[in-house]
Structure 1
Amino acid sequence: MAKQTDKQLAPERPATDFSSLKDLLAFCKPYYPLIIISLVLAMAGAIFSIVAPDLLSQMTDLITEGLMASINLDAVVRIGLLLVLLYGLSFLFNFVEGFIMATVTQRVSKKLRKDISKKINRLPLRYFDSTTTGDVLSRVTNDVDILGQTLNQSLSTLVTAVTMFIGSLIMMFYTNWVMALSAILSTFIGFGLMTFIISKSQGYFAEQQRSLGQLNGHIEEIYTGHDVVKAYNGEQIAKKDFDEINTRLYDSAWKSQFISGLMMPLMMFIGNFGYVVVCLVGAVLTMNGSISFGVIVAFMLYVRLFTQPLQQMAQAATSLQSTAAASGRVFEFLTEDELEAEDDKLINMDQVKGKVDFQHVAFGYTEEKTIIKDFNISIEAGQKVAIVGPTGAGKTTLINLLMRFYEVSSGAILIDDVPIRKLTREQVHDLFSMVLQDTWLFEGTVRDNIVYTQEGVTDERVKEVCQAVGLHHFIEAMPEGYDTVLDDTVTLSTGQKQLMTIARAMIKIAPLVILDEATSSVDTRTEVLIQQAMDKLTENKTSFVIAHRLSTIKNADLILVMKDGDVMETGTHQELLDKQGFYADLYNSQFEDVS
């Protein structure tokens, strides 16, 4: 727990800038035609709205003039119908634009999540050793959602706002340049304030996204190990770490939301101030006979069309800051170094006996610290190999290298005289059945959990394996037997979960078996049953057993005694006891601890 927490509280990277949006734009390239059509429709809808005030000005002048004589109803109706047409087309174009962008948004979000899912499978374990699960989940959910919202709303809003802004500016100067300058000067201050606020708030949005990812990682970590936290009275430490991250999130979120919240009131004030200026200047010009009353009506609308885009651009700019931060996190993940491509590896091992050789293998998680040094051992097919040693000796690391979860720094590992580096990782994984100390069950039926990825497994085979590990009677007693869905309503003991994962490993037809502390969570009686079942079901299979309880590996064909990455001793249980060496000391110390 402490290790993860330290990583979460590590110094942060620099704030994300808008350059990260280039990656999002490149990702959206296949959808450019649809996006362009959508944006053109948004511009057209905005243009229709911009033309309308000029028609309203004409209608107002006709009505004003008619008050002195008679109103030309035909002309008024004609202009009114034209206005209805323009507003109707504007609505239609905006509707189609919204439909297109909603479709594009969901497709982009779907593809992003799909690419992230593929990326997860292509990343080395080294990445996940330094990144919390919650942070990765935050990128898949929160950050992708933010990108989708921007595409769906902010992009079209920004284009519409720019079109409105430029179009209303042109129409104002076309109508009356004095009134236009008055309106512009009254709202000019908005540009300066908006630019200043955006420059100050950008870092807060990036910090908000990072802190949110850290908070998700911390919560996922703490509640996954909730029992351990409570057993060790670690609630205060967990609460302290949570409060630190939560405070950082609060500070960055408060500042970013407060600053973004200033945009709307500020723009509304500038817009209202613009109305006042237009009315005063318009009144003076009307008194002088320079303009008609209709021009004032038109400018009242133009001021709204001129200032409203400022509000929308401010909102879009605020949203783009969150998007830039989210985009940086998503595409940073997508550009992480992947596992080496293996398309050129065409070797196919059909008949594998299970002979394994370690030849001068060396490995270290970092270049500065080597864990396994010049490791050499030859294991015959069908042998049961036990790997023992103190914590940190390199036992699990050896298995990770054998499975190609990590690559050796030097040397080679061979299966049936074929270096595993010449096989694809999928081929290597197919050669092994594996049971880890930490159990993993998914929400599905008991049968689905046991069969997992294997195809063509009969019900009889499933029952045979479950009988071998002592699970059959327990499963039969469940409400739906093998069809019982394992969800929150089904309670399994740690030992029962472990037995299911062992059954899953047995169901797979693989020439090699790995058991990493597979019996550590079961009682003594169940442990004996498992040992007997494993001896029977691993016949003619090469098996590797990592065990701390040395009493469980007495029948191993070969025991590797490891310390500090080196093999100290090799031999059978009795041979190693007769040597009175390191293994004998380990074995005797366990019985002394028990007594």
Structure 2
Amino acid sequence: MNNSLTKKSLYQVIQKNQGLIALLIFVVLGVVVISLIPPQILKIIIDNNLVPKNREGLMRWAIVYLIVLLFIGVFDFLKEAILTVLGQRVTKEIRMEMMVKLGKINSQFFSSHETGAVVSRFTNDVDAINTLFTSGVVGMVISSFKIIGIVISIWFFSYKLGLLTLLLLPIIYGIIRLFQKRMLQAQIKNRILVGQVNNHISESLNNMLMIKSYSKEKYMEQNYNRYLLDNFLTLDKVNFYDAVFSPLIQILRAIVIASIVILSSAQLNFLGMSLGMIAASIELISNLFEPVENLGMQLQNIQQAVSGVRRVNEFYMEPEEDGKNDKLTAAKIIPDRSAVRLKFDNVSFRYETGTDILKNINLTLNPLEKVTFVGRTGVGKSTLFKLIMGTLQPTEGVISINGIDVCAIPNREKRRIFGYVEQRFHFIKGTVAEQISLQDEGITRGKIEEALRFVGMMEYIESLENSLDTEVTSDSLFSQGQQQLLAIARAIVTDPPLLLLDEITANLDSITEERVISVLQKASSAHTVLSISHRLSSMIASDSVVILENGRVKNAGSPEVLLQDDDWFSSQVALERLTWH
């Protein structure tokens, strides 16, 4: 993908950090070269000083040996530090680009993708990409060069041992990869089972009243025990592989070292090496296991990272909202709130390639009109509201305000035009004031207080410890009815000309419902109000009612006319009155 997000982000990081990348290349070369020096020094010490028992220069070589080890530690530290910094900068760049993309992406994307899946792309997938540049590609290059350097060094000592080392490499790699794959599979399964245990705990806590009401404690306990047992067995397997792997490598290393000693013995002298060469070769062979083991892990990390790159790029290639006119403002679209005209022109909508949710909707709503949309569940009422606000784009047709397509309105202006109240109030991290302003700097404290007084919540909020500055750490701070009043305050704080009310009394008791309805009646006097009502008896006094059926407008007119002309409407009202009494 020429326009892939990772390529773009990586290019930007490279451009901004050229000096750091040059230093990384130097450090990587230093790590590889210096790690090969200690065995060579060991060879010189043994052959020139220890075997002939010549103490001259021994102290000098010992100091050199220690200095080289010190340099290895310094270069390793610098390598890890630089990789961490670069990895974090790559991660930051990718996430920043993804956040920009998220603001432009077509809203229909969120209808077909769960929140958890989107979050996973920002977290797990980007973290996987980070490993591509830390323990992935760079680590694999270092491990590969170390292996090559070790083989070459051994070859100079004895070409026979060099050939044996080349034959040994695939055996070591095969054993290590076998264990790594088994351990990875067990760890992945363990993570899944840990997730099941956590989900079960959360589900039990959230539904404790229902569990007790239906005497399902034993059933939930049995499920919990099963999840715990499965998790224990999987974790036991992970621990088994962890416990066996290290001793196995140690045994394999010991066998290889013993073989070198035997082949170099006076009786066989197959390798034809001096004592110093044998000692150096043993150290080199011992050092060979680490890069081979790392190489297996790095290949595994790269495979996971490639999957992350693909998923992030798929996100980046998602279609964006088009047709936005950045020059449009709320004041230009609606210069006079008493002259708001909302029009549906042959509007149809379907999710992806499914059947039409809405079909050929044609309506014109007059300024300051109060319109209620009714119909059976699933008929498309909430979808219609999302189309009105431009968060979804019609498959066919246009919805316009004063002749301007709602899909052309910039997102930053929508809150000045639409006040949306839904069934559930969604809290954000912050104070009570920020629950209303949504951290919009254009909304003053005075406006927040005015909105809260309007809905009758200011007295209760002043009773809180820090009034408007009280941190909302739990939704239990407010009752269900108070949350709905907060939702109304959030909607009207910008004084938008259009209010959209989406079944806001669905979960309220009758007393709270009456209070919310009275607040909305007061708010509706200066607004064009569109509402969805699940109970016709709880409708705000409406100028007209639109009945939706099978995605179409079945009937429309004043409540009085529909009571006479529409059998479904009149029967629903009669049934509710009977139930109510």
Match of 1:476 among 453, 456, 462: 462
Is structure 2 residue 323 aligned with structure 1 residue 337?
A: no
Q: Distance in 1 between matches of 2:270 and 2:403?
A: 102
Shift in Å at residue 103 of structure 1? 0.8
- Tell me the equivalent position of 1:174: 156
Q: Distance in 2 between matches of 1:426 and 1:205?
A: 48
Q: How does 1:5-16 map to 2 (within 5 A)?
A: none
- CA deviations 1:205-247 (Å, max 9, x no partner) are 9976995898699679958964797599699999999999999
Match of 1:163 among 130, 145, 154: 145
- The TM-score, its normalising length taken from structure 2, stands at 0.84
- Tell me the equivalent position of 2:529: 543
From the superposition, tell whether residues 335 and 201 of structure 1 become closer, same or farther in structure 2 (CA, over 3 Å): farther
Kept in 2, the 8 Å contact 1:362–1:374? The answer is: yes
Kept in 2, the 8 Å contact 1:559–1:572? The answer is: yes
- Tell me the equivalent position of 2:279: 297
Q: Distance in 2 between matches of 1:499 and 1:287?
A: 92
From the superposition, tell whether residues 346 and 500 of structure 1 become closer, same or farther in structure 2 (CA, over 3 Å): same
Q: Distance in 1 between matches of 2:271 and 2:372?
A: 103
Q: Distance in 2 between matches of 1:429 and 1:282?
A: 83
Identify the range of structure 1 (392-401 vs 128-137) with the bigger mean alpha-carbon deviation.
Answer: 128-137
- Tell me the equivalent position of 2:550: 564
Q: Distance in 2 between matches of 1:239 and 1:430?
A: 51
Is structure 2 residue 378 aligned with structure 1 residue 392?
A: yes
What code does the residue aligned with 1:401 have?
A: L
Identify the range of structure 1 (281-290 vs 219-228) with the bigger mean alpha-carbon deviation.
Answer: 219-228
Kept in 2, the 8 Å contact 1:46–1:163? The answer is: yes
Q: Distance in 2 between matches of 1:277 and 1:115?
A: 56
Q: Distance in 2 between matches of 1:513 and 1:238?
A: 44
- Tell me the equivalent position of 1:517: 503
From the superposition, tell whether residues 555 and 192 of structure 1 become closer, same or farther in structure 2 (CA, over 3 Å): closer
- Tell me the equivalent position of 1:528: 514
- CA deviations 1:352-380 (Å, max 9, x no partner) are 13210111111222544112221111111
From the superposition, tell whether residues 288 and 400 of structure 1 become closer, same or farther in structure 2 (CA, over 3 Å): closer
Identify the range of structure 1 (510-519 vs 520-529) with the bigger mean alpha-carbon deviation.
Answer: 520-529
Q: Distance in 2 between matches of 1:507 and 1:417?
A: 26
- Tell me the equivalent position of 2:88: 106
Q: Distance in 2 between matches of 1:188 and 1:308?
A: 14
Kept in 2, the 8 Å contact 1:558–1:571? The answer is: yes
Identify the range of structure 1 (183-192 vs 206-215) with the bigger mean alpha-carbon deviation.
Answer: 206-215
Gaps of 5+ in 2: none
From the superposition, tell whether residues 241 and 309 of structure 1 become closer, same or farther in structure 2 (CA, over 3 Å): same
Q: How does 1:190-229 map to 2 (within 5 A)?
A: 190-194=172-176, 204=185, 222=203, 226=207
Shift in Å at residue 254 of structure 1? 8.6
Shift in Å at residue 437 of structure 1? 0.6
Per the alignment, in what secondary structure is the counterpart of residue 559 of structure 1?
strand
- Tell me the equivalent position of 2:452: 466
Is structure 2 residue 392 aligned with structure 1 residue 406?
A: yes
- Tell me the equivalent position of 1:574: 560
What code does the residue aligned with 1:178 have?
A: K
Kept in 2, the 8 Å contact 1:447–1:462? The answer is: yes
- Tell me the equivalent position of 1:431: 417
Is structure 2 residue 62 aligned with structure 1 residue 76?
A: no
Match of 1:350 among 323, 331, 344: 331
- The TM-score, its normalising length taken from structure 1, stands at 0.82
Per the alignment, in what secondary structure is the counterpart of residue 470 of structure 1?
coil
Q: Distance in 2 between matches of 1:404 and 1:489?
A: 29
Q: Distance in 2 between matches of 1:104 and 1:124?
A: 32
From the superposition, tell whether residues 404 and 551 of structure 1 become closer, same or farther in structure 2 (CA, over 3 Å): same
Identify the range of structure 1 (373-382 vs 133-142) with the bigger mean alpha-carbon deviation.
Answer: 133-142
Per the alignment, in what secondary structure is the counterpart of residue 109 of structure 2?
helix
- Tell me the equivalent position of 2:77: 95
Kept in 2, the 8 Å contact 1:264–1:311? The answer is: no
- Tell me the equivalent position of 1:319: 301
Per the alignment, in what secondary structure is the counterpart of residue 73 of structure 2?
helix
Q: Distance in 1 between matches of 2:424 and 2:195?
A: 24
Identify the range of structure 1 (402-411 vs 212-221) with the bigger mean alpha-carbon deviation.
Answer: 212-221
Kept in 2, the 8 Å contact 1:134–1:214? The answer is: no
- Tell me the equivalent position of 2:68: 86
What code does the residue aligned with 1:544 have?
A: L
Kept in 2, the 8 Å contact 1:357–1:413? The answer is: yes
- CA deviations 1:520-569 (Å, max 9, x no partner) are 34444443343333333333321111111222325212211222222222
Shift in Å at residue 186 of structure 1? 4.4
Shift in Å at residue 387 of structure 1? 1.0
Kept in 1, the 8 Å contact 2:183–2:241? The answer is: no
Gaps of 5+ in 1: 1-18
* Percent of paired sites with the same residue: 22
What code does the residue aligned with 1:339 have?
A: E
Kept in 2, the 8 Å contact 1:420–1:428? The answer is: no
Shift in Å at residue 433 of structure 1? 0.7
Aligned CA RMSD, in angstroms, stands at 4.0
Q: Distance in 2 between matches of 1:131 and 1:317?
A: 30
Per the alignment, in what secondary structure is the counterpart of residue 284 of structure 1?
coil
Kept in 1, the 8 Å contact 2:140–2:295? The answer is: yes
From the superposition, tell whether residues 249 and 340 of structure 1 become closer, same or farther in structure 2 (CA, over 3 Å): farther
Is structure 2 residue 580 aligned with structure 1 residue 594?
A: yes
- CA deviations 1:462-499 (Å, max 9, x no partner) are 33322221212221222222222111395321111111
Is structure 2 residue 537 aligned with structure 1 residue 555?
A: no
Kept in 1, the 8 Å contact 2:5–2:94? The answer is: no
Kept in 1, the 8 Å contact 2:330–2:416? The answer is: no
Kept in 1, the 8 Å contact 2:158–2:271? The answer is: no
Is structure 2 residue 24 aligned with structure 1 residue 62?
A: no
- CA deviations 1:293-325 (Å, max 9, x no partner) are 111111111111223221222232343344444
Match of 1:283 among 249, 260, 265: 265
Per the alignment, in what secondary structure is the counterpart of residue 509 of structure 1?
coil
Shift in Å at residue 65 of structure 1? 4.2
Kept in 1, the 8 Å contact 2:521–2:540? The answer is: no
Q: Distance in 1 between matches of 2:291 and 2:271?
A: 31
Per the alignment, in what secondary structure is the counterpart of residue 548 of structure 2?
strand
What code does the residue aligned with 1:403 have?
A: M
Per the alignment, in what secondary structure is the counterpart of residue 546 of structure 2?
strand
Kept in 2, the 8 Å contact 1:437–1:517? The answer is: yes
Identify the range of structure 1 (471-480 vs 426-435) with the bigger mean alpha-carbon deviation.
Answer: 426-435
Shift in Å at residue 276 of structure 1? 0.9
Shift in Å at residue 58 of structure 1? 1.0
From the superposition, tell whether residues 188 and 371 of structure 1 become closer, same or farther in structure 2 (CA, over 3 Å): closer
From the superposition, tell whether residues 527 and 377 of structure 1 become closer, same or farther in structure 2 (CA, over 3 Å): same
What code does the residue aligned with 2:516 have?
A: I
Is structure 2 residue 430 aligned with structure 1 residue 444?
A: yes
Shift in Å at residue 50 of structure 1? 0.5
- Tell me the equivalent position of 2:487: 501
